[in-house]
Chains A and B, each alone.
Chain A
């Protein structure tokens, strides 16, 4: 069998693929508000029950740790979060729903973890907490818990718009050895199965989440790293501006949806 005879069907197939891709036209539009679903709605009844009950939700353990950290004096000035912000249940209400938010000092949007660390280094004069470390997760979970049930409302104004667009660009750009874009699964194929699991719409409604697969609490960036490694792309470093832009876009994409922190996911 000659190579040419093999080559013909292959190139024909490639041409057909090109036509198919062209025929699809522009990338899939954003999911309409009426069809948006939190990852919660794709979960089993048992996992939902686990999230709904504070005494069964392991995220509670981190929230309680975060409350202790909130009241602990720290840094060179021996000041606790509570010394400036008072009762988190009042002062931190809604804060997680509007992050990533514009930060004048940084000149760009920062996520909740970065905001907490900015407060630590600036106001408490303490060392920043390690990304994905137990303390930063606990404090973030405690702050975000105060916004549970509130609608996500990140700012999409003139200052944040360029960063939001950069995040959208990351979301729609094909990347990695599998040459996949986030949008191909999460905008176009949600609700279908990838191996045994249902593909969710990728709305970051409950971070930091307790993920059963992790057997622990983790941030949105940890989850994003999982997806990037899955499509064999090199993940950005924790706290990288590209990740924060993507977080901003995802939160903007989920605007109006209720926060569930600390959520449980399979």
Chain B
């Protein structure tokens, strides 16, 4: 069971730029490594991350094998209205994880 931690400020003033940070648990196996017996370890990484703000996409990232395990993403957006910020990570082997946070704009 994978786990994600998201950090979104609870209350922001309208028009203010605020930072969102996400940390997700994932081994990010590159696909380039081999076991001690020489067998290739298949790639198992997160391929895509999407963040939506009240349904509208505000940030998207593509992941590649060189990204570390348990990747941390930080990005910013402008506070427009109160609502929900939703996060989705999808990846190899059917990996899918969603998380959401409430935000109040005053």
Residue ranges of A at the interface with B (Cβ–Cβ < 8 Å): 55-56, 58, 60-61, 64-65, 212, 215-216
Interface contact B3-A55, CB-CB below 8 Å: no
Q: How far is the CA of A64 from the CA of B70 in the complex (A)?
A: 14
- Output the nearest chain A residue to B22 by Cβ-Cβ distance: A55
Query: Which residue of B3, B21, B23, B68 is within 8 Å of A215 (Cβ)?
Result: B68
Q: How close is B2's CB to chain A, nearest CB, in angstroms?
A: 9
Chain A residues lying within 8 Å of B25, measured Cβ to Cβ, are: 58, 61
12 interchain pairs, CB-CB under 8 A: A55-B5, A60-B23, A61-B3, A61-B5, A61-B23, A61-B70, A64-B5, A65-B3, A215-B28, A215-B70, A216-B27, A216-B69
Interface contact B72-A64, CB-CB below 8 Å: no
Query: Which residue of A55, A64, A212, A216 is within 8 Å of B21 (Cβ)?
Result: A55
Closest CB pairs A-B (n = 5) = A215-B69, A55-B7, A58-B70, A61-B25, A61-B3
Residue ranges of B at the interface with A (Cβ–Cβ < 8 Å): 3, 5, 7, 21, 23, 25, 27-28, 68-70, 72
Q: How far is the CA of A17 from the CA of B27 in the complex (A)?
A: 48
Q: How far is the CA of A60 from the CA of B5 in the complex (A)?
A: 8
Q: How far is the CA of A58 from the CA of B26 in the complex (A)?
A: 10
Q: How far is the CA of A238 from the CA of B25 in the complex (A)?
A: 25
Chain A residues lying within 8 Å of B7, measured Cβ to Cβ, are: 55
Q: How close is B55's CB to chain A, nearest CB, in angstroms?
A: 25
Q: How far is the CA of A216 from the CA of B68 in the complex (A)?
A: 10
Q: How far is the CA of A215 from the CA of B26 in the complex (A)?
A: 10
Chain B residues lying within 8 Å of A212, measured Cβ to Cβ, are: 68
Known: A58-B72, A61-B70. 17 other contacts (CB 8 A): A55-B7, A56-B21, A56-B23, A56-B72, A58-B23, A58-B25, A58-B69, A60-B5, A61-B5, A61-B23, A64-B3, A64-B5, A65-B3, A212-B68, A215-B27, A215-B69, A216-B69
Q: How far is the CA of A55 from the CA of B19 in the complex (A)?
A: 12
Chain A residues lying within 8 Å of B68, measured Cβ to Cβ, are: 212, 215
Which interface residue of A56, A60, A61, A64 has the most chain B CB atoms within 10 A? A61
Chain B residues lying within 8 Å of A216, measured Cβ to Cβ, are: 27, 69-70
Q: How far is the CA of A65 from the CA of B3 in the complex (A)?
A: 8
